Structure 1
Amino acid sequence: MAQILSPFSAARMPPQQVEAEVSLLGSILLDGAMMDKVADTLRAEDFYKNEHNTIYSAMISLFSKQKPIDILSVSDSLKEAKKLDDIGGHSYLASLINSVPTAGNAAYYAEIVRKKKILRELITVSQDISQLGYKEEGDVDELLDEAEKRIYNIAQKSLTKGFVPIAGILEQAWERIDNLHKDPSNSAIRGVPTGFRDLDHKLSGLQKSDLIVLAARPSLGKTALAMDIARHVALHENIPVGLFSLEMSKDQLIDRLIAAEAHVDLWKLRTGRLSSEGDDFDHIRDAFDKFSRAPLYIDDEASMNILQMRAKARRLQAERGLGLIIVDYLQLMAPKQHTDNMVQQITEISRSLKVLAKELNVPVLALSQLSRAIENRPNKRPQLSDLRDSGAIEQDADVVMFIHREDRVKENSDRPNQADILIEKHRNGPIGQVTLYFTPEKASFSPMERISE
């Protein structure tokens, strides 16, 4: 029977192209200025041959000291470090120069060397993960997270981004400033728009890498507002949204989304009591058609921990793109390590969500409960100290918003269905208040000016 070779068998040569390494080093020896084109993307450890690693390290050392790079300076540097004989002596350096007719292709050779290194890193990581799996030690979720993190880190290192000429930036800046001047109503929306103009003007949209916390007591509209934002971002901005619903099922969320978009009564839709007369079903069909093309992705797994969420979010970003993550809601997430201390659990979850926002460079909108303490004091207006179970939420969040409904805490209120969105923390901007109108029949919010029209 023929022997089947393991992917990591010694009989297989690791990915490498020594000819590209030789050509690159020869190009730099011919023209030391080529280091300017490759030094920011290529490291000494990217070379497959140890001798080439040593030579490039000497070049990097000279480059960092702003000394000329040529066959004499590199030879002297290696001789001083007692490594000249290790790489084959002065004659080997001369052979590198003779291997290339021109220095102009250095960047091309560097890209080949870098890509081969990435392939070798993938093999190494795969071997490490395989060994961990065979040992059957540790938590499976932690192993999965470690595996995805290491693969993700390789992918991120493969993305290089250099300086951009200011002329190109100025052109874009002028266009943006000119558009803002022509249409002041659209000014300063630099993040992901929520669909609520006044809120967007306060926040400049939901910013990348920000953790935004939306908190309220139960049944005041946290999920409804989050669904309105998700609906706008996916349908009207065509920005991919990842929605983690730990409280409601995907069917319940779909009912809410359809009712809000079709402007029909949610309870009637759920119970099949919609009238056959009128145009309700036409609106529902239109809503179904819109959502069938929307980049909105729902995960309704209950009791998900941050490791699972991070892994799913990474995959979604890699496969479909990702512009916004919504978590409903924070206190229902499971901690990585079980403990009876709720404060420690929420602290871990809060900080992990902030890390997730930074890692994926997307805004994370996390819903949160408020403590019952708010119900035992005369002033029912929420404040930062009301965030349930942890002061870490306040610390980790870039933005903290509360939903306050006067008609729910005050008898005979003259503000029925009006909801104040209180921006009590805004790390990079002003705090303030925005008033929206809540329509219970649709479980949806609207701008106040739309209601008054």
Structure 2
Amino acid sequence: MQPNQQLPHDLQAEMSVLGALLMNEQLLYSDVVPLEPDDFFDQRFKEIYSAILKLNENNKPIDTTTVVDQLQEDQKLQFVEPKLLIDIMDATPTLRNYPDYVAIVKEHSTRRTLIDTAEMIIENSKNASVELEDVLTDAESSVMRVSQATSKNDFRRMDTILPELYQHAEEINKTKGEVTGIPSGYRAIDSMTSGFGRNDLIILAARPSMGKTAFALNIAEHVGSSDQNYNVAVFSLEMGAEQLVSRMIASKGNIDASKLRAGGFDRDDWAKFQMAIRELSRSRIFIDDTPGIRINEIRSKCVRLKQQEKHLDMIIIDYLQLIQGSSTRRSENRQQEVSEISRMLKGLAREIGAPVIALSQLSRGVESRQDKRPMMSDLRESGSIEQDADIVSFLYRDDYYNRGEGEESDVSQLDTSEVELLIAKHRNGPTGTAKLIFNKKYSKFLDQENFDREI
């Protein structure tokens, strides 16, 4: 089928690219944005370029004879007459302008892709069965993909990288022993991590009721507090925004969380409640409680938030296994889908320049062991999670499993618990255990050394 001749294209530029490659195959390694077969408008030129790429992949010479042989092997000669290759070479003005020919072909291809994208957006916008949020997210993602396709990641010379590392070394040595990344708010953790790196993917995993949501919210409270000047995005796929904020109020004000649910405030509680609201209202925490959100929606919302607020400094997701893949259709292989999600979360951390803390479930296998401290193999639907993550950490409470005779059978009745944060993987630092205290009544985690002073 012939392409629409009204779409942007330049057949002379396409012929010049192919002619230059037929005369000098080394041009394939030029410092230009690489072309794909679909960047060519003319179907015949797509087939010729595909043949050239196959020859190059197989370390075969590239000339008119070998290209014809490859086309014959691919059963494409019915589309391309051998004489066309000679005509293409004759129509090529000069090899020197090869980068310019490539740029022209790429620009027209990008414009055609944008037209296709615009038509897709129009069709989706007309379709009332497609949610508006999906239309906006797909539109944004499609345009972003087009933009990324026009850029190239070049090698960087050592002399361009070393000055940045030298400056970083000077900065961290001026602040020796201090936190150089985004602080968690917990001395025991920051002493091991020096703060969370801005490109890091951090996995925080635990069995249900260990307190991982409360812990993540405590970190958000600290990082997003008004005196820090950090912006924090929280994606809650399990609880609504009101529930999360209620937990934050309990933690911030040292208020019994059950009173926030059932009432029964005394005068002291009201004073704490009002103080907590005042402090949280000045915080830089942004909550999205869309259930079943797709990974590309998370990315789009983070990009928009960063543009809107000028900077985004931490992203918290509760929790990873509830995120949907980028496809609107549910994947039959959930492990592959979770692997895609973890890769995209790592990419998100690098793109935004903010640590991503993703909460994760653990498999029930941990319950069958005598020592119930979690291990890497306990990560549920792990896929590539442990490979993608810079830090993998587990929350463990011994009292959750090991209660002596005569103690309450319901561990939730105990006001406080000793907690271990097990850092099982740390790409850029040590592994080990940070000791914390969890006050369940207030949904609040503390460093052990601060427990008596703050509660």
TM above 0.5, yes or no, is yes
The alignment partner of 1:169 has SS state of helix
Distance in 2 separating the partners of 1:115 and 1:338: 35
- Which amino acid letter does the alignment assign opposite residue 245 of structure 1? L
Alignment of 1:225-240 (within 5 A): 225-235=215-225, 236=228, 238=230
Distance in 1 separating the partners of 2:105 and 2:382: 45
- Which amino acid letter does the alignment assign opposite residue 285 of structure 1? R
Distance in 2 separating the partners of 1:53 and 1:386: 46
- Which amino acid letter does the alignment assign opposite residue 93 of structure 2? I
Residue 342 of structure 2 corresponds to 354
Q: Tell whether 2:245 aligns with 1:257.
A: no
8 A Cα contact 1:266 1:442, kept in partner: yes
Distance in 2 separating the partners of 1:349 and 1:201: 35
Q: Tell whether 2:446 aligns with 1:436.
A: no
Residue 309 of structure 2 corresponds to none
Distance in 1 separating the partners of 2:304 and 2:237: 20
Which of residues 190, 193, 196 in structure 1 aligns to 2:186?
196
Question: How many Å apart are 1:240 and its aligned residue?
Answer: 5.0
Aligned residues: 413
TM-score, structure 1 normalization: 0.65
Distance in 1 separating the partners of 2:364 and 2:44: 64
Distance in 2 separating the partners of 1:222 and 1:383: 14
8 A Cα contact 2:249 2:273, kept in partner: no
Residue 15 of structure 1 corresponds to 8
Which of residues 392, 398, 403 in structure 1 aligns to 2:396?
403
Residue 316 of structure 1 corresponds to 301
- Which amino acid letter does the alignment assign opposite residue 220 of structure 2? A
For residues 101-148 of structure 1, the C-alpha deviation after alignment (integer angstroms, 9 at most, x for no partner) is x947x54553443233234345557889999999xxxxxxx9999999
Question: How many Å apart are 1:350 and its aligned residue?
Answer: 4.9
Question: How many Å apart are 1:249 and its aligned residue?
Answer: 1.7
Residue 361 of structure 2 corresponds to 368
Distance in 1 separating the partners of 2:287 and 2:12: 46
Distance in 2 separating the partners of 1:334 and 1:161: 29
TM-score, structure 2 normalization: 0.65
Distance in 1 separating the partners of 2:68 and 2:3: 34
Residue 422 of structure 2 corresponds to 422
8 A Cα contact 2:255 2:273, kept in partner: no
Distance in 2 separating the partners of 1:61 and 1:29: 14
For residues 252-299 of structure 1, the C-alpha deviation after alignment (integer angstroms, 9 at most, x for no partner) is 112233454x545264666465659968645632421223xx4x3322
Question: How many Å apart are 1:173 and its aligned residue?
Answer: 0.7
Alignment of 1:252-401 (within 5 A): 252-260=243-251, 262-265=252-255, 267=257, 271=263, 275=268, 281=274, 284-291=277-284, 294=285, 296-301=286-291, 304=292, 308-321=293-306, 326-329=316-319, 350-351=338-339, 353-358=341-346, 360=348, 363=356, 365-368=358-361, 371=364, 374=367, 381-384=372-375, 387=378, 392-393=381-382, 396-397=385-386, 398=389, 399-401=392-394
Distance in 2 separating the partners of 1:23 and 1:338: 43
- Which amino acid letter does the alignment assign opposite residue 357 of structure 1? L
8 A Cα contact 1:371 1:386, kept in partner: no
Indicate how the Cα distance of structure 1 residues 349 and 202 shifts in structure 2: closer, same or farther if over 3 A, else same: farther
Distance in 2 separating the partners of 1:385 and 1:55: 49
- Which amino acid letter does the alignment assign opposite residue 246 of structure 2? D
Q: Which runs of 5+ in 2 are unaligned?
A: 71-76, 127-133, 307-311, 351-355, 408-414
The alignment partner of 2:163 has SS state of helix
For residues 3-36 of structure 1, the C-alpha deviation after alignment (integer angstroms, 9 at most, x for no partner) is xxxxxx9877223244655776799899998765
Alignment of 1:21-40 (within 5 A): 21=14, 37-40=30-33
For residues 213-252 of structure 1, the C-alpha deviation after alignment (integer angstroms, 9 at most, x for no partner) is 420442x422110112333455547355341231x22101
Residue 74 of structure 2 corresponds to none
Residue 157 of structure 1 corresponds to 149
Distance in 1 separating the partners of 2:158 and 2:46: 35
Question: How many Å apart are 1:313 and its aligned residue?
Answer: 1.6
Q: Which runs of 5+ in 1 are unaligned?
A: 1-8, 135-141
Indicate how the Cα distance of structure 1 residues 26 and 394 shifts in structure 2: closer, same or farther if over 3 A, else same: closer
8 A Cα contact 2:232 2:316, kept in partner: no
Percentage of identical aligned residues: 21
8 A Cα contact 1:208 1:361, kept in partner: yes
8 A Cα contact 2:203 2:359, kept in partner: yes
CA RMSD of aligned residues (A): 5.7
